[in-house]
Amino acid sequence: SRLSDDDSGFRVYSPELDRDLERHVEMEAELYRALERDEFELYYQPQVNARTGVLAGVEALLRWRHPQRGLISPGEFIPLLEECGLMPRVGTWVLRTACLQASEWQRQGLPPLRVAVNLSAQQFRMSNLVECVQQALDDAGLAAEHLELELTESLILENAEQTIQAMHQLKKLGVSLSLDDFGTGYSSLSYLRRYPVDRIKIDQSFVRDMTEHRSSAALVRSILAMAHNLGLGTIAEGVENDTQLGYLRKLDCQEIQGFLFSRPLPVEEITQLLRDVRRWASPDPLEAASST
């Protein structure tokens, strides 16, 4: 315990542990309240074919609409959710909400599209993860082929054997798996063969640097070559300009995701974008997107 300031500004003798605990409890209460009051929201970012610009899917991205602080990005609160042990609950909400939304778009007559959901390490430690995914699909009436689950290398490495087993079980349900932030993890490219993944997402840090740094360009080139050799699908995230797009096209990267085409959008706006037939029919929507 240490000397610390209390609210009145007096130095009081109070154990720091109490303060930490207090803050922790407060934060936890806020996050529980956020769940109860429906303060979490999903934004959706398009994933498009790099050659044709045809929209192939969307990634669901979590946001917290805090009553006082406004929209908070996941980088700020996901670590707190994990600390509180709330991530499995919120993650389950994300999964169910994204499946319901995908099914709702189909009900509205939009062409079926793939929805990608990020899974956290804590979700992978849930003993009932596979049932939870199946339940989300069933309750939404969504075919498994329309759901993609994104996981990271570090998540897999945390508990390799058990995680790879769970991945196989998820594959059996018919969902697809992608490896997020690829290239930032610790494992070598050859580890890819051990993972039952359908595609890899090249991390945005490489996409950002690729047009300026030879080393990043070389890395992107070898990641794509390796993926092609292994028969894996490919998507690059964080694509912001035409130079990056041109480069990725030349290297046969299948899909792109990034501000060039669209930022993550709230549900009304993404629904409007999905309805906008020009986005689907234009001969080069990517060019159209980048010129606006």
Footprint on this chain of ligand C2E (rule: CB under 6 A): 45, 61-62, 73-75, 78, 91, 94, 118-120, 150, 180-181, 204, 237-240, 257-259, 264
**From CA 146, how far away is CA 139, in angstroms rounded?**
14
**Minimum distance from residue 175 beta carbon to ligand C2E (Å):** 15
Minimal CB distance to ligand C2E: which residue? 258
Contact indicator for 86, 114 with CB cutoff of 8 Å: no
**From CA 235, how far away is CA 79, in angstroms rounded?**
26
**Minimum distance from residue 123 beta carbon to ligand C2E (Å):** 7
The site map against Mg ion for 226-265 (x = CB under 5 A) is: -----------x----------------------------
Q: Six-digit token pair at 24? A: 């922790």
Burial degree of 176 (CB within 10 A; 0-12, 13-18, 19+): buried
Query: Does 152 participate in binding Mg ion (rule CB under 5 A)?
Result: no
- Partners of 41 in the β-ladder: 63
β 176-182/233-237 pair status: unpaired
Query: Terminal CA-to-CA distance of the chain, rounded, Å?
Result: 58
- DSSP secondary structure code for residue 265 in this structure: B
Contact indicator for 216, 187 with CB cutoff of 8 Å: no
**Minimum distance from residue 116 beta carbon to ligand C2E (Å):** 8
Q: Which is nearer to ligand C2E, 14 or 266 (CB)?
A: 266
Q: Which is nearer to ligand C2E, 207 or 219 (CB)?
A: 207
Q: Choosing among Mg ion, ligand C2E, none, which partner's interface includes residue 280 (Cβ < 5 to 8 Å by kind)? A: none
- Partners of 14 in the β-ladder: 2
Q: Which is nearer to Mg ion, 98 or 140 (CB)?
A: 98
Q: Six-digit token pair at 285? A: 């929507």
Q: Of these, 180, 192, 227, 236, which contacts Mg ion (CB under 5 A)?
A: 180
Query: Does 150 participate in binding Mg ion (rule CB under 5 A)?
Result: yes
List residues binding Mg ion (CB under 5 A): 118, 150, 180-181, 237
